[in-house]
Amino acid sequence: MDLYAAISLRTIISYLLILLIFRLMGKREIGELSVLDLVVFIMLGDIAVMAIEKSDKPFAEILFPMLILLVVQLLFSYISLKSSKFRKLVDGSPSLIISNGKINEKAMRQQRYNFDDLLTQLREQGIIDINEVQFAILETTGKLSVIKRDNKAASQHKETAFPLIMDGEVQEASLQHIGQNQFWLRQQLRKRGYEDIKKISLCSYKNGTLYIDQSDS
């Protein structure tokens, strides 16, 4: 068989087989993939590349691992449906990042989740002030689920909240935005009983009000 015809045939068959496997795995958004799904996706991609490039090897020999992955995926998916313990072992558990407006830094460290990640995901949901948040849960998919406070005043004021301190480090750019300096910031902190900036995990400023979260470590 002509080389290009063989590569074309391998590509089409690989595509159809991967499509079949994805359909059998069920409908999910990319951002909602479990760890198990992600591992299968990566391995399938590598095997498909080998199937197309290794034209000197028998096609069935290369496609066999795809079928093994399909069987393993279906088996694990079935076990996950039946066993919550297995599902927790594979996918992990949701983490409570904010509870009653208080940031859970221990949970953030366990999930390798930093304040930049937190603030970014809050902004993506239209939240610019942590004071607006009652609870925030980091799902096993990496998505942040947020429950806002029942506060009409919070929804009426949409001014930007500037992070002045993050992980014990002063954010000079934010201080410049509000027309203040470190001396002013330290004064405000001392008035509230905070002497050591290094012990502050997050401090933000909005509408003349400081939100301060002290490190729990």
Count CA atoms closer than 13 A to 128's CA, side-chain side. 13
Q: Rounded to whole angstroms, how far apart are CA atoms 97 and 216?
A: 13
H-helix or E-strand spanning residue 23: helix 3-25
Q: What are the tokens at 162? A: 């500037």
DSSP state of 28: -
Q: Per residue in 126-152, pLDDT tens?
A: 888 887 888 898 887 788 989 887 755
Specify the higher pLDDT residue, 23 or 27. Answer: 23
Q: At residue 26, does pLDDT exceed 70?
A: no
Query: Which stretch of 22-36, 54-68, 199-213 has the lowest confidence by average pLDDT?
Result: 22-36
Is residue 189 predicted with pLDDT exceeding 80? yes
pLDDT in tens, 195-207: 899 889 889 998 8
Per-residue pLDDT, 34: 66
Rounded CA gap, 157 and 206, in Å?
10
Q: How far apart are CA 48 and CA 59, in angstroms?
A: 11
Its pTM stands at 0.55
Pair type for strands 95-99 and 133-138: antiparallel
Q: What is the mean pLDDT of residues 155-170?
A: 74
Q: Check residues 80 and 118 and name the one with the higher pLDDT.
A: 118
First to last CA, the chain: 67
- Looking at residue 156, its pLDDT comes to 47
State the DSSP code for 142: S
